[in-house]
Amino acid sequence: LVSRKKKPEDTIVNIRGEKVGNGSPTFVFGPCAVESYEQVAAVAEAIKNKGLKLIRGGAFKPRTSPYDFQGLGLEGLKILKRVADEYDLAVVSEIVNPADIEVACDYIDVIQIGARNMQNFELLKAAGSVKKPVLLKRGLAATIEEFINAAEYIISRGNDQIILCERGIRTYERATRNTLDISAVPILKQETHLPVFVDVTHSTGRRDLLIPTAKAALAIGADGVMAEVHPDPAVALSDSAQQMNLQQFDEFYQEVLQTIPVKA
């Protein structure tokens, strides 16, 4: 059902009026993890000032170590909702447990399924059974075929509001946190009718590569870019090395906007 052979025209994902995949790129910014109301609100204000519509933030954090900050859980979703209401933004947040999908729908506008859960089939089925857009991230070691099949799990349950997100894959290369598979973007666009995003933060793990990779993503046809922003990355409870501060966020956005491909 996700195949372009079955449906030649692009699927537009509607996130509270923001039309993803309609030709002009969508940006998703926000902290790695929700830490406090003040932290999220500071980022929301910077997003709003740019005229953008979406904010991201993790409340349920799938961390490599059980001793690392695990996120604020439901409390985090409540903070996101409060900020989103105050700044009129739509919220993207990761859900890790199928049992949380329904209740999460009361707080968020887009269900993110993270790389580590790309093949959590019960989670995919649960996300397919609700009427909420889903941002599905590519697994750390998933082939494009496996990625497409994961999306098929969601759409086969009745939910076609799916955004695919390339976020880097694990290779032998250590210069970046993961290896951004930029050619996955046109392949996914050819093989499916779904919008495709690139997460420049988790793919590179390097602040100095965010601007060039975001430009590359848009140049190669991505429908959107995701990147992490934190008011004070040095004290962030997760992904401290790669989040942009608010000034870097301004510079990033200005620079990337200049190279947005002009649509005919």
Provide the binding-site residues for Mn ion, judged by CB under 5 A.
Answer: 32, 239
The helix (H) or strand (E) run that includes residue 26 is: strand 26-30
Closest CB to ligand PEP among 58 and 224? Answer: 58
Residue with tokens 């929700």: 34
Residue least distant from ligand PEP (Cβ):
114
Phi and psi based region of residue 30 (left: phi greater than 0; alpha: psi -120 to 50; beta: remaining): left
> In the 8-state DSSP scheme, what is residue 33?
B
Closest CB to Mn ion among 2 and 115? Answer: 115
Q: How far is CA 144 from CA 75, 205, 255, in A?
A: 35, 21, 30
Residue least distant from Mn ion (Cβ):
32
- Long-range contacts at 21-26 (CB < 8 A, ≥ 24 apart): 21/163, 21/194, 21/195, 21/223, 23/263, 24/260, 24/263, 25/218, 25/222, 25/223, 25/224, 25/225, 25/260, 26/53, 26/54, 26/195, 26/197, 26/223, 26/224, 26/225
CA nearest 76: which of 92, 97, 98, 99?
A: 92
Closest CB to ligand PEP among 113 and 256? Answer: 113
Which amino acid belongs to residue 254? Q
List binders of ligand PEP among 45-84 (CB under 6 A): 58
In 105-205, the DSSP E strands lie at 110-113, 134-137, 162-166, 196-199
For the bound state, the minimum distance from the C-beta of residue 115 to ligand PEP, rounded and expressed in Å, comes to 4
35: helix, coil or strand? coil
Closest CB to ligand PEP among 3 and 240? Answer: 240
Binding mask of the shown chain, residues 19 to 38, with x at each position contacting ligand PEP by CB under 6 A: -------------x------
For the bound state, the minimum distance from the C-beta of residue 63 to Mn ion, rounded and expressed in Å, comes to 10
List binders of ligand PEP among 131-190 (CB under 6 A): 137, 167
Closest CB to ligand PEP among 32 and 43? Answer: 32
Decide if residue 202 touches ligand PEP (CB under 6 A).
yes
Specify the pairing of strand 224-228 against strand 18-20: unpaired
Closest CB to Mn ion among 128 and 233? Answer: 233
Contact stretch for ligand PEP (CB under 6 A) within 40-48, 112-120, 151-159, 190-198:
112-120
For the bound state, the minimum distance from the C-beta of residue 263 to ligand PEP, rounded and expressed in Å, comes to 28
For the bound state, the minimum distance from the C-beta of residue 33 to Mn ion, rounded and expressed in Å, comes to 7
For the bound state, the minimum distance from the C-beta of residue 10 to Mn ion, rounded and expressed in Å, comes to 28
Summarize as ranges the residues that interact with ligand PEP (CB under 6 A). Answer: 32, 58, 94, 114-116, 137, 167, 199, 202
